[in-house]
Amino acid sequence: MPSLPPIRPEDEAIAEKLRPEGAFDAPADVHDPVRAGYLLRLGDDALILGQRLGEWCGHAPSVEVDLSLSNLALDLIGQATLLLGAAGDADELAFKRDVLDFRNCLLVEQPNGDFARTMVRQLLFSTFQHMLYGRLSASSDQAVREVAAKAVKEVAYHRELAAEWVIRLGDGTDESRERMLDGLGWCWRFVPELFEVDEELEAAIGCGIAADPRAIEADYRMAIADVLTAATLPVPADQRPILGGRRGHHSEHLGHLLAVMQYLPRTYPDARW
């Protein structure tokens, strides 16, 4: 069974439009560092979480869940291809950058742990991404606008699926509840970073490319609390936030992920497939 989804004509049209004219091999930040930096944040979030979810392939609790998680991964990697492609050469950016140059948030690089932790991570991130993409359909940048408009439907599904699982596992057996609590404890520290606005993001918000995450934080916390309540799980107390992913200060886990993801194109730079 082929594992890749069909490339639809509309996807090709979007990819074609996003290709920067005559600048295919130029370093991303020659053009507009604020725009490229924001595209890297969005693109790296999608890429890294897509790679993480791909690690479940062949290991999920059932073949149906295996397919669910692979579908999410492929959606995210598709988004990353478009977003990084708008910042420069998507393959170069994905496979030739080192860990300090990645701009993803720390939440998405966290190890899968068990299925419960993976689903908590998905709920916490997809809810954020869904609300953010909703706002980005009004971005001043055409590429951001178009990717957000296309991806918001995909992410709506990710968010719903994750919520379904969090509710079932939280309100399931003693063991599934225990594992949910552990996963929530692991992931909760990385939520504040989603809403952090540094100078770089401030500049992108200023020129209308980016959406201000602080504007969705209250809605986000309410939406998460609703799911946790339905799952009979307590909303965790806020801990000391862990920040730094947007500046390239990553946890040790990202380096291991990149080693696996980048091994082939770095070892065989001329490989074509």
Partner 1 sequence: MSDWPLWEVFVRSKGGLAHRHFGSVHAPDAELALRHARDTYTRRQEGVSLWVVKSSDIVASDPAQAGELFEPAADKVYRHPTFYDIPDVVKHI
Q: Whole-number minimum distance, CB 68 to partner 1, in Å?
A: 4
Q: Whole-number minimum distance, CB 161 to partner 1, in Å?
A: 6
90 with 84: CB under 8 angstroms?
yes
Which span sits near partner 1 by CB under 8 A: 4-12, 148-156, 228-236, 254-262? 4-12
Q: Toward partner 1, which CB reaches closer, 44 or 75?
A: 75
Q: Tokens 């359909």, residue? A: 137
Q: Toward partner 1, which CB reaches closer, 165 or 190?
A: 165
Q: Toward partner 1, which CB reaches closer, 4 or 271?
A: 4
Q: Whole-number minimum distance, CB 273 to partner 1, in Å?
A: 21
Q: Whole-number minimum distance, CB 158 to partner 1, in Å?
A: 11
Q: Whole-number minimum distance, CB 67 to partner 1, in Å?
A: 5
For every residue of the chain, DSSP letters joined together read ---SPP--HHHHHHHHHHSPTT-TTS-GGGT-HHHHHHHHHHHHHHHHHHHHHHTTTTTSSSHHHHHHHHHHHHHHHHHHHHHHHHHS-HHHHHHS--GGG----HHHHS---SHHHHHHHHHHHHHHHHHHHHHHTT-SSHHHHHHHHHHHHHHHHHHHHHHHHHHHHHTS-HHHHHHHHHHHHHHHTTHHHHT---HHHHHHHHTTSS--GGGGHHHHHHHHHHHHHHTT-PPPPP------GGGT---HHHHHHHHHHHHHHHHSTT---
Q: Whole-number minimum distance, CB 11 to partner 1, in Å?
A: 12
106 with 257: CB under 8 angstroms?
no
Q: Whole-number minimum distance, CB 65 to partner 1, in Å?
A: 8
Q: Toward partner 1, which CB reaches closer, 93 or 169?
A: 169
| Chosen residue from 11, 32, 164, 171 binding partner 1 by CB under 8 A | 164
Q: Toward partner 1, which CB reaches closer, 3 or 267?
A: 3
Binding to partner 1 by CB under 8 A, coded x per residue (else -) over 39-78, reads ----------------------xxxxx-xx--x-------
* Residue 11 near partner 1 by CB under 8 A: no
Task: Please give the backbone phi and psi of residue 90, each rounded to the nearest 5 degrees, phi first.
Answer: -60, -45
Q: Whole-number minimum distance, CB 116 to partner 1, in Å?
A: 14
* Residue 174 near partner 1 by CB under 8 A: no
Q: Toward partner 1, which CB reaches closer, 115 or 220?
A: 115
Report the distance separating Cα 90 and Cα 84, nearest Å.
5
220 with 128: CB under 8 angstroms?
yes
Q: Toward partner 1, which CB reaches closer, 161 or 254?
A: 161
> Residues in contact with partner 1, total (CB under 8 A)?
14
* Residue 6 near partner 1 by CB under 8 A: yes
Residues that bind partner 1 (CB under 8 A): 5-6, 8, 61-65, 67-68, 71, 161, 164, 168
